[in-house]
Amino acid sequence: MLELADQHRKEANKLLNPKTKSALGQFMTPAPICLFMASLFDDIKGDIKLLDPGCGVGSLSAAFVERALRLDVDKMELDAIDIAEVMLPYLSKTLKACDEAANGKLTHKISKVDYILEASLLAKNISTCEEPGTYSHVIMNPPYKKILSSSAHRASLRNAGIETVNLYSGFVALALKQLKKGGELVAIIPRSFCNGPYYQPFREHLLSETSIKHIHIFDSRNAAFAEDEVLQENIIIHCVKGVPQGQVIITSSPTSDFHLDEESGQITATDMTQRKVSIDKIVNPADKQKFIHIAASPREQDIIERLSPFTTTLDELNVQVSTGPVVDFRLKNDLRERMDSGSVPLLFPQHLNGKVNWPLDGKKPNAIRVSESSRPWLWKNQGYFLILKRFSSKEEMRRIVATLYDSSLPGELIGFDNKTNVFHIQKKGMDADLARGLYIYLNCTLLDKYYRQFGGHTQVNASDLRSIHYPSMQVLRKMGSEFDDEVLKQNQIDEIINRELDLMTKGKIADPLKAQEKIEQALDVLRQLGMPRAQINERSALTLLALLDLHPDGEWEKIERPMLGVTPIMDWCRDVYGKEYAPNTRETFRRQTLHQFCDGGIAIYNPDKPERPVNSPKACYQIAPELHTVLLNYGSAKWETALKEHMGNVPTLVEQYAMARKMEMVPLKLNDGTELELSPGAHSQLIKDIIVEFGPRFAPEAEVIYIGDTGAKEDHFRKDRLAELGVSVDRKGKLPDVVLYWQKRNWLLLIESVTSHGPVDGKRHGELAKLFASAKPGLVYVTAFPDRKVMAKYLMELSWETEVWVADAPTHMIHLNGDRFLGPHT
């Protein structure tokens, strides 16, 4: 169902007008996000009544129904609402497929209406009922568009007791009114509601009406809707209406590649992190504005704590911040390319680059004529101003970048463009020390990191800057007095801020930026070592730091060489750097970082016991001794020379480690001439015995369809051939260790290689029977053991109607209860 809905999404997307789509925020939900959102609901059982407002082609509904049908559901009612005519044919097809799959358990209704206008009337009536609420579940990806105060939508919402400024928050607020007590809502919405005065009523409504259960954030602001190139920070939120607030799960991921993890049975994404926090870590109880701070890791929480000593408001400083007053298209006749008689300087974002660069050659004017039309929008060119760009580009490292302007340009008046924010005192500049102190604070890394945690915009609004707390007047002047008007380097700015914070806290709140600094250094090392782009990420950087046991306050010249397994590496990342990865990301660490570290000569696999099998719980990694010697010099004058010498030897080292590993591999040649190298260990040796000893004796000339081996870069898998035999599988995780097809008898032999766990017991027999239910050949279930001693351990677990083969007696078979020796048991 979800796969079909996603095809409909892609087709309908082509029919949408790009301008209308962008204006209304009509960005349909990709299948992986639908899968994750549907997985967040806690209580899906009994009678379900589901609402999907702004449903598009029905992707979210399809994901919900798909999950519900796997659970204990008696019947489902679905209300799907969308205003776009182009969606309806696709929506009908999606829900028809849902009906067919539900086999009578689902009824649905499609409504082509304006949800805000329609639901506002219902919500007003619901408010007067003794038992308010209709729906047990709501799933949504609402459109986002600002609502004008004079619009019909704003009036309708106000009439229903809802005060908000955007379609998306209106959708959520209305849906909450239609939700039963104990009902659940899961929505993907912009992060912008988390702060700012305009969304305060919506935040209060959300926090008073519901218990927030789960928040998922994306590390990149275009991760959720990458196909549509949406530069909007989105979050996924799960709430339950009318129940006490408990702890909140916060997860994060750099991408939206959600998928089912076979091992845990959970929906996850690459490098997903998770943590549980109390609600007061998200909403400060003392905060009257109810700002929502979403810290994905303890390290981000530490940033909030680090800045907490700064409690002064702009009002208390008697400083204002305003959006630049000059709107250029309204004053076209007064704009000048160059300053002339009767004109004054006009500053655009293009003039700001650490300092004011004026005039500039380009498309933008540099001056504005002083006229009756323009004069009300010009300020006194006097004192010191702080100017910020309102919009940040993808390339800029920081969201908040302040430029100090000392009124040194000619003229008594000055113009600031509408795409800037300006700090001022009553439309004039301020004194030098105060302005310089603000310059240091606004440009510090701590504030930028803090702002990104609650600023969901791609722009910096004046209202957001008013909401931030600042150092006291005394501290600002003290910091400002320490430098003249030269442009400070970032480390100088951060050093001044940290010195003040350490004095205020007496060193009790550690600097969280030290951790980030070490991560950046580790990334720099990986780049200089020539690692591929796919490994230049925080996961790989933290793995390197773990293998060096390098703490945030540690020194490169004191790095160590511990031997660590994958899980201990992940635990170290959590305990030392506050980055808690979900348990089901172990394979990501192993396959997408540690494999490449070994291939690149950065780490050695099982240095204490190279023959140890890959799937051993004792498998471990250690920094190569030659690289360790080089890294001791990082940050010193010897680094470049040591690195250059090392890089000249890297190919030799890689070959040397690969050769040592290769010597332990188990070679295997198949009937068709294919040569494989299996990872070392008893498990792989038994797989080889199955192919070369069991196969020729009991299924001569059988085709080898699949061999699973955890150490091979690619398992041997003839997926197309298996499909010809009637079996299609998306994932290899549930397949047996070996699959053989014996054409002479038209049998599929499903063989488990058992050295430490995993015989064909009753549970496994059922799994394989289900997985291969569509197979055209007959099925034979075989458990292979290396010897009878191992077999004895598992004898009581073996399922009836299966075969047993023991490698140390290869000419014999054991058949468990059947009417013939070897063959499918029916």
Q: pLDDT tens digits, residue range 655-711? A: 555 555 555 555 666 666 677 767 666 777 888 889 888 988 888 888 888 988 655
Distance CA 682, CA 678 (A): 11
Domain assignment of residue 32, yes or no = yes
Predicted confidence at residue 685, as pLDDT, reads 82
* Phi/psi of residue 75, nearest 5 degrees: -155, 160
Question: Tokens for 162?
Answer: 């809802």
Same domain, 112 and 164: yes
- With a cut of 90, say whether residue 631 has pLDDT above it: yes
Across 4-18, 42-56, 149-163, least confident range: 4-18
Give the domain extent around 753.
Answer: 666-815
Q: How many CB atoms are located within 10 Å of the residue 504 CB?
A: 16
Same domain, 87 and 116: yes
- With a cut of 90, say whether residue 261 has pLDDT above it: no
Q: 3-class SS at 825?
A: coil
Single out the residue in 619, 642, 661 at which a domain terminates. 661
Question: Tokens for 351?
Answer: 């003039």
Question: Tokens for 212?
Answer: 């927030």
In angstroms, what CA-CA distances link 703 with 42, 698, 728, 738, 748? 45, 13, 17, 11, 10
Q: Which residues on adjacent β-strands are paired with residue 779?
A: 748
Scanning 363-461, the segments in alpha helix (DSSP H) are 432-442, 445-454
Distance CA 105, CA 48 (A): 10
Predicted confidence at residue 820, as pLDDT, reads 56
Distance CA 705, CA 722 (A): 7
Of 115, 96, 14, give the one whose Cα is nearest residue 55: 115
Same domain, 692 and 606: no
Same domain, 693 and 770: yes
Same domain, 14 and 57: yes
Question: Tokens for 734?
Answer: 């549930």
Single out the residue in 476, 505, 534 at which a domain terminates. 505
Same domain, 491 and 343: yes
Distance CA 642, CA 629 (A): 9
Predicted confidence at residue 808, as pLDDT, reads 85
Contacts of 514 (CB under 8 A, 6+ apart): 552, 553
Single out the residue in 661, 694, 723 at which a domain terminates. 661
Same domain, 388 and 338: yes
Q: 3-class SS at 60?
A: helix
User: No. of H helices and E strands in the chain?
Assistant: 28, 31
Specify the CATH number for the domain of residue 118. Answer: 3.40.50.150
Q: 3-class SS at 351?
A: helix
Contact 196, 463 (CB under 8 A): yes
- With a cut of 60, say whether residue 218 has pLDDT above it: yes
For the segment 418-431, the average pLDDT, to the nearest whole number, is 97
* Phi/psi of residue 168, nearest 5 degrees: -65, -40
- With a cut of 50, say whether residue 31 has pLDDT above it: yes
Contacts of 592 (CB under 8 A, 6+ apart): 270, 534, 535, 539
Q: Which residues on adjacent β-strands are paired with residue 345?
A: 367
Q: How many CB atoms are located within 10 Å of the residue 286 CB?
A: 6
Q: What is the pLDDT of residues 734-785, one digit of tens each?
A: 788 899 999 999 999 999 988 755 677 777 888 888 889 899 999 999 999 9
Predicted confidence at residue 230, as pLDDT, reads 47
Contact 56, 180 (CB under 8 A): no
Domain assignment of residue 351, yes or no = yes
What percentage of the chain exceeds 70 in pLDDT?
86
Q: Which residues on adjacent β-strands are paired with residue 675?
A: 669
Q: At what angle do helices 31-39 and 59-68 cross, to 10 degrees?
A: 40
Specify the CATH number for the domain of residue 526. Answer: 1.10.10.1820
- With a cut of 50, say whether residue 46 has pLDDT above it: yes
Domain assignment of residue 303, yes or no = no
Distance CA 60, CA 400 (A): 36
Same domain, 182 and 116: yes
Same domain, 279 and 335: no
Domain assignment of residue 307, yes or no = no
For the segment 231-241, the average pLDDT, to the nearest whole number, is 86
Of 357, 364, 370, 373, give the one whose Cα is nearest residue 338: 364
The one-letter amino acid code at 577 reads: Y
In angstroms, what CA-CA distances link 586 with 70, 263, 491? 27, 10, 35
Q: 3-class SS at 312?
A: strand
Please state whether 310 falls in left (phi above 0), alpha (psi between -120 and 50) or beta: beta
Domain assignment of residue 83, yes or no = yes
Q: Which residues on adjacent β-strands are paired with residue 774?
A: none
Q: What is the pLDDT of residues 478-516, one digit of tens each?
A: 999 988 777 788 989 999 999 999 888 876 777 788 888
Of 819, 733, 749, 743, give the one whose Cα is nearest residue 784: 749
Strands 367-369 and 343-347: antiparallel
DSSP secondary structure of 74-141: EEEEEEEE---GGGHHHHHHHHHHHHHHHTTSEEEEEE-S-HHHHHHHHHHHHHTSSS---EEEEEE-
User: What is the rounded average pLDDT for all residues in the chain?
Assistant: 86
Highest mean pLDDT range out of 45-54, 645-654, 782-791? 45-54
Domain assignment of residue 58, yes or no = yes
Which pTM value belongs to this model?
A: 0.69
Contact 219, 254 (CB under 8 A): yes
Predicted confidence at residue 544, as pLDDT, reads 97
Of 797, 783, 767, 719, give the one whose Cα is nearest residue 265: 767
Of 419, 445, 566, 568, give the one whose Cα is nearest residue 498: 445
Question: Tokens for 725?
Answer: 């035999």
Task: Find the radius of gyration of the CA atoms of the chain.
Answer: 32
Q: What is the pLDDT of residues 294-325, one digit of tens each?
A: 888 878 888 888 888 898 999 999 999 999 99
DSSP secondary structure of 138-193: EEE-----B--TTSHHHHHHHHTT---SBHHHHHHHHHHHHEEEEEEEEEEEEGGG
Burial 38-58 (b: 16+ CB within 10 A, else e): bbbbeebeeebbbbbbbbbbb
Contact 615, 682 (CB under 8 A): no
- The H or E element that residue 504 is part of is helix 490-505
DSSP state of 45: -
Please classify residue 517 by burial: count the beta carbons closer than 10 Å to its beta carbon, then call 0-12 exposed, 13-18 middle and 19+ buried.
middle
DSSP state of 260: E
Specify the CATH number for the domain of residue 447. Answer: 3.90.220
Distance CA 6, CA 58 (A): 9
Distance CA 710, CA 786 (A): 18
The one-letter amino acid code at 99 reads: D
- With a cut of 90, say whether residue 187 has pLDDT above it: yes
Same domain, 411 and 429: yes
Distance spanning both ends of the chain, measured CA to CA: 33
> What helix, strand, coil percent values describe the chain, rounded to 5?
40, 20, 40
- With a cut of 70, say whether residue 350 has pLDDT above it: yes
Question: Tokens for 598?
Answer: 């070994």
Specify the CATH number for the domain of residue 810. Answer: 3.40.1350.80
Contact 584, 259 (CB under 8 A): no
Distance CA 725, CA 774 (A): 9
Contact 546, 623 (CB under 8 A): no
The one-letter amino acid code at 262 reads: E
Residue reference for tokens 């928050």: 169
Number of domains in the chain: 4
Question: Tokens for 553?
Answer: 């306050």
Contact 227, 30 (CB under 8 A): yes
Same domain, 447 and 345: yes
State the Cα torsion 350-355-361-363 to the nearest 10°. Answer: 10
Predicted confidence at residue 123, as pLDDT, reads 62
Distance CA 401, CA 814 (A): 75
- With a cut of 80, say whether residue 806 has pLDDT above it: yes
Domain assignment of residue 305, yes or no = no
Domain assignment of residue 304, yes or no = no
Same domain, 679 and 619: no
